[in-house]
């Protein structure tokens, strides 16, 4: 495959990919709901007005074999920064390149020739994705400088091949005790919804629960922002009929005490955004919800329950694997690369020195 097979376009339509072909590519590589066509279109329709679209497509014989779903942000200190579409809401980001190194090399060469950027700042790539090594090879062959840094940890409960461990998690006393308590004081029930019409009934309650839960903390709810509410509504609409959106409801005597906006996509149940009614916080309804999701993943024979990015303490209690995402930065200007590399080196040295003098 040669450079002529790659091109830069500025719209979804110009990529040459329809929904089906896009999702076929998304099913290779990182293989998460965050790479799907529906996710990208929903994110762009909600947040895209602040960015310039930048898709890099690679084709062979008239068929599009890969696409880099990117966008450009103009910054005052770093120049033109290119990020993944979905940055900030997508727990995992990746190129749609079919694990093909020649496709990734063609993308990087096309971006170098395009030239209207200063830094590629590509966050939340799963560390096990082949994209990281393919980008290293592509940058080496094109003379671009690249750095890789750890980004987030991603606790996961791997079930397949570890069924006994998963059952131990499900039957932990700390989970069973909460559920037993609610069952003693009322009728506890669970529902998993996949249809938009059913989910729409609960979305406002879900938003309000999340706002109430985080009021007065150092992490106010994202649903104070109307745009974020719009994104969740739009995504529910676009995923209708796919069975990928899994909205879980925990009811006590017909009242929703915990809700979860998550995903059931290609053998993985994804823990994404939970909420619970703070009026019931004394009973830990959030843990009742976690137990329900573990049970659902086991009963449906899923490979894993992925708690995605974030090192919250409760995740470590109910998982058996910790993965990572990485941030890849590629620089057009060698001087900018050397400055950033030196800056990071100094910061790392300062942190090490501080750690040595901290009291034990």
What confidence tens digit (pLDDT) does each residue in 51-110 have?
Answer: 999 999 998 877 888 999 999 999 988 999 999 999 989 999 999 998 899 999 999 999
How high is the pLDDT of residue 275? 98
Per-residue confidence (pLDDT) for residue 251, from 0 to 100: 98
Residue 4 clears pLDDT 70, i.e. is over it: no
Q: What is the DSSP string of 11-26?
A: SSGGGT--HHHHHHHH
Segment 283-336, tens digit of pLDDT: 999 999 999 999 999 999 999 999 999 988 889 999 999 999 999 999 999 888
Mean of the pLDDT values across residues 167-186? 95
Average pLDDT over residues 120-145: 95
pLDDT band at 356 (very low <50, low <70, confident <90, very high): low
Mean pLDDT for all residues in the chain: 93
How big is the chain, counted in residues? Answer: 360
Residue pair 65/22 in contact by the 8 Å Cβ criterion:
no
Q: What is the pLDDT of residues 39-55, one digit of tens each?
A: 999 999 999 999 999 99
CA separation for the pair 97, 104 (Å, rounded): 6
Enclosing H/E stretch for 225: none
pLDDT tens for 227-268 read: 999 999 999 999 999 999 999 999 999 999 999 999 999 999
Best CA proximity match to 155, nearest among 295, 275, 290:
290
Burial bucket for residue 313 (CB in 10 Å: 0-12, 13-18, 19+): exposed
CA angle (64 as vertex; 134, 62 as ends), nearest 5: 130
Cα dihedral 145, 148, 151, 157 sign:
positive
Question: Is the pLDDT at 358 greater than 80, yes or no?
Answer: no
Neighbours of 62 (CB within 10 A): 6
So what's the pLDDT on residue 284? 96
pLDDT reading at 181 higher than 90: yes
Q: Indicate the pTM of the whole model.
A: 0.92
Q: What is the mean pLDDT of residues 209-227?
A: 96
Q: Which domains does the chain have, with CATH numbers?
A: 3-152+325-357 (3.40.630.30), 160-302 (3.40.630.30)
Point out the least confidently predicted range of 67-81, 162-176, 340-354. Answer: 340-354
């Amino acid at each position: 495959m040669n450079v002529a097979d790659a091109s830069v376009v500025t719209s979804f339509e110009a990529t040459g990919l329809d929904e089906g072909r896009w999702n076929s590519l998304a099913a290779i590589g990182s293989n998460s709901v965050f790479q799907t066509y529906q996710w990208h279109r929903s994110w762009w329709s909600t947040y895209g007005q602040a960015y310039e679209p930048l898709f890099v497509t690679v084709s062979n014989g008239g068929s599009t074999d890969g696409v880099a779903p990117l966008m450009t942000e103009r910054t005052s200190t770093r120049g033109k920064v290119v990020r993944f579409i979905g940055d900030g809401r997508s727990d995992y980001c990746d190129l749609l390149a079919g694990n093909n190194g020649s496709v990734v090399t063609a993308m990087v060469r096309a971006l170098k020739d395009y030239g209207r950027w200063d830094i590629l700042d590509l966050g939340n790539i799963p560390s096990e994705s082949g994209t990281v090594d393919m980008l290293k090879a592509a940058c080496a062959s094109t003379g671009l400088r690249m750095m890789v840094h750890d980004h987030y940890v991603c606790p996961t409960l791997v079930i397949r091949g570890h069924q006994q461990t998963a059952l131990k998690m499900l039957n932990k006393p700390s989970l069973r005790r909460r559920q037993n308590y609610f069952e003693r004081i009322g009728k506890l029930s669970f529902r998993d919804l996949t249809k938009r019409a059913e989910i729409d009934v609960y979305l406002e309650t879900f938003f309000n629960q999340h706002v109430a839960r985080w009021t007065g903390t150092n992490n106010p709810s994202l649903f104070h922002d109307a745009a974020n509410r719009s994104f969740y509504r739009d995504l529910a609409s676009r995923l209708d009929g796919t069975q990928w959106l899994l909205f879980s409801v925990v009811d006590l005597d017909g009242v929703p005490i915990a809700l979860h906006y998550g995903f059931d996509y290609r053998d993985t149940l994804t823990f994404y955004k939970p909420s619970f009614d703070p009026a019931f916080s004394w009973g830990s309804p959030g843990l009742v919800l976690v137990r329900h999701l573990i049970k659902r993943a086991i009963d449906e024979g899923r490979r894993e329950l992925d708690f995605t990015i974030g090192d919250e303490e409760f995740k470590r209690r109910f998982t058996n694997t910790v993965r990572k995402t990485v941030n890849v930065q590629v620089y057009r200007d060698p001087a900018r690369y050397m400055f950033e590399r030196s800056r990071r080196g100094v910061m790392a040295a300062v942190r090490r020195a501080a750690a040595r003098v901290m009291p034990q």
